[in-house]
């Protein structure tokens, strides 16, 4: 069950959503217009669980293309909801914008609750009375800042919600996909291309997407939750609290995803900042690939999953070689165009494949045949005349894959040889871009002959 939270810009919708959900997920800032996409947050009250849809401020007189997109998103939220919550600023009093939004709500068929926000003390309660003139029933006095009246508001919302017949998918096999990257590289356009509809606002203004928004789709019958994230900027250039908050949000999204697509602008190539973002994702345990979006603008005609020719092939191979050199996990570099739809389906197929590889468990017998081959190709290192012996390997975890190799002495393991084993493992089992953990475990009970070896 869903409640659409709508209202004029800067009336405190996101602050109220945070208060009702007891979170800080909705971005709050004193500047109007910070919330641009709609964001869904779950809460519960008196045994009922429901979702609040936080939307951008609606100003019907603003003809700016971005403002029009925000209005469209708010209308879509209302179409997806069972109850509408109109938030007004009690301190500012009735404004024409409030009446215009009320007119839009009246034309719908949803039950409506009016929350007169910013009533921070009992002395301010009379300020709510102005909003009776909206003709939407009794306005409820609330304070997002102080929590005043929020219990009564939640009671009213739960009373109006229909019986919840939704079944959660917490236990289902779901692949969580995060799209991360610098501002204005086309993350929102890619999300819309995946979903086949305008779900996220797309704008030429850098940093349009301020919030992380979870969306669901199916790929070949399997469920995927897409986390579309705000753009990341270099820490030194984060001068506004909003941008700093956005950076933290992107990091958080990577930490809770199974797969991360680092979206890059094909016109810029893969920048140093793109590489740092990919490194961040992989350190969080995400299986990761890089995507050169806007490939159509470069004139590229390259198969994203193949080695072969076409316009831009040489440049693409150079980018791949650079990624392999710079990033230890060697993530794949794919190409796509959100604008033309080129390779969008193949991108989703690769996402599912990389998620499966991160979850795959390799039989122990097969792993030990692999270990014997590795030793045959390159002998383990020796220190002071004593050679490292790798005795046995098994997989002890998935997502990310984790392996334990029994050895005779940890002191004889060199970083170079550990990387060699990791890279061979990655090549053999298609673990490009998948974090791999190898524990070199010294066997506890060794014979005197082994100690002398």
User: How does 61-76 read in b/e, with b if 16+ C-beta sit within 10 Å?
Assistant: ebeeebbebbbebbbb
Task: Report whether the peptide linkage leading into residue 400 is cis, meaning its omega lies within 30 degrees of zero.
Answer: yes
- Reported as a single tens digit per residue, the pLDDT across 162-208 is 864 443 444 457 899 999 888 888 888 898 888 886 555 444 444 44
Residue list for the binding site: 7-14, 54-58, 117-120, 181-188, 228-232, 293-296
Domain formed by 174-359, architecture:
3-Layer(aba) Sandwich (3.40)
Percent of the chain with pLDDT over 90: 37
In 3D space, the residue among 79, 80, 75 whose CA is nearest the CA of residue 51 turns out to be 80
- Rounded Cα distance between 137 and 111, Å, is 10
- Domain limits of the chain? 2-160, 174-359, 364-442
Mean pLDDT across the stretch 32-37? Answer: 41
**Interatomic CA distance for residues 149 and 143, integer angstroms:** 7
**CATH architecture of the region 364-442:** 2-Layer Sandwich (3.30)
Tell me the C-alpha to C-alpha distance, in Å, between residue 89 and each of 43, 124, 176, 225, 265. 23, 12, 37, 35, 41
Over residues 10-24, the mean pLDDT reads 83
Tokens of 314: 């040489």
In terms of DSSP H, where are the helices of 96-161?
Answer: 96-107, 150-160
Element (H, E) at 439: strand 437-442
* pLDDT for position 213: 54
Q: CA geometry: angle at 243 spanning 237 and 246, to 5°?
A: 130
Q: What is the mean pLDDT of the chain?
A: 79
93-116 pLDDT, tens digit each: 988 778 888 887 887 778 999 999
Residues making up the annotated binding site for GTP are 7-14, 54-58, 117-120, 181-188, 228-232, 293-296
- Grade residue 377 by pLDDT with cuts at 50, 70 and 90: very high
Check whether domain 2-160 has CATH 3.40.50.300, yes or no: yes
pTM of the predicted model as reported, rounded to 2 decimal places: 0.58
CATH topology agreement for domains 2-160 and 174-359: yes
């Amino acid at each position: 069950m869903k409640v659409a939270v709508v209202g004029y810009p800067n009336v405190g919708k996101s602050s109220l959503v945070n208060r009702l959900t007891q979170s800080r997920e909705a971005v709050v800032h004193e500047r109007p217009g910070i919330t641009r996409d709609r964001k869904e947050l779950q809460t519960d009250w008196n045994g009922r669980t429901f979702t609040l849809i936080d939307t951008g401020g609606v100003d019907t007189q603003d003809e700016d293309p971005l403002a029009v997109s925000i209005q469209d998103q708010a209308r879509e939220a209302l179409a997806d909801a069972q109850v509408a919550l109109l938030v007004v600023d009690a301190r500012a009093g009735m404004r024409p914008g409030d009446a215009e939004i009320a007119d839009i709500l009246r034309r719908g068929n949803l039950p409506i609750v009016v929350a007169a926000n910013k009533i921070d003390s009992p002395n301010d309660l009379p300020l709510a009375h102005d909003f009776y003139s909206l003709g939407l029933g009794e306005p409820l006095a609330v304070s997002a800042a102080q929590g005043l009246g929020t219990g009564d508001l939640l009671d009213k919302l739960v009373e109006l919600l229909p019986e919840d017949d939704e079944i959660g998918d917490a236990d289902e096999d779901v692949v969580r996909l995060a799209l991360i990257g610098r501002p204005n590289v086309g993350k929102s356009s890619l999300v819309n291309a995946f979903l086949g509809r305008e779900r996220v606002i797309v704008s030429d203004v850098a940093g349009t997407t301020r919030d992380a928004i979870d969306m669901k789709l199916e790929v070949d019958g399997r469920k995927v939750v897409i986390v579309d994230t705000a753009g990341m900027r270099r820490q030194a250039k984060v001068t506004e609290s909003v941008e700093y908050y956005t950076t933290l949000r992107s990091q958080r999204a990577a930490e809770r995803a199974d797969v991360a697509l680092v979206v890059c602008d094909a016109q810029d190539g893969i920048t140093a900042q793109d590489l740092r973002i990919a490194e961040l994702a992989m350190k969080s345990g995400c299986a990761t690939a890089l995507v050169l979006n806007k490939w159509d603008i470069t004139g590229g005609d390259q198969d994203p999953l193949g080695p072969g020719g076409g316009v831009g092939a040489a440049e693409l191979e150079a980018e791949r070689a650079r990624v392999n050199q710079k990033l230890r996990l060697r993530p794949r570099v794919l190409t796509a165009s959100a604008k033309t739809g080129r390779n969008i389906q193949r991108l989703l197929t690769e996402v599912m494949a990389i998620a499966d590889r991160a979850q795959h468990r390799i039989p122990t017998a097969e792993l030990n045949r692999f270990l014997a081959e590795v030793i045959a190709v390159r002998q383990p290192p020796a220190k002071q005349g004593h050679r490292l012996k790798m005795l046995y390997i098994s997989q002890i975890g998935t997502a990310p894959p984790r392996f334990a190799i029994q050895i005779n002495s940890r002191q004889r393991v060199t970083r170079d040889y550990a990387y060699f084993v990791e890279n061979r493992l990655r090549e053999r089992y298609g673990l490009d871009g998948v974090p791999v953990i190898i524990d070199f475990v010294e066997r506890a009970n060794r014979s005197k002959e082994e100690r002398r070896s």
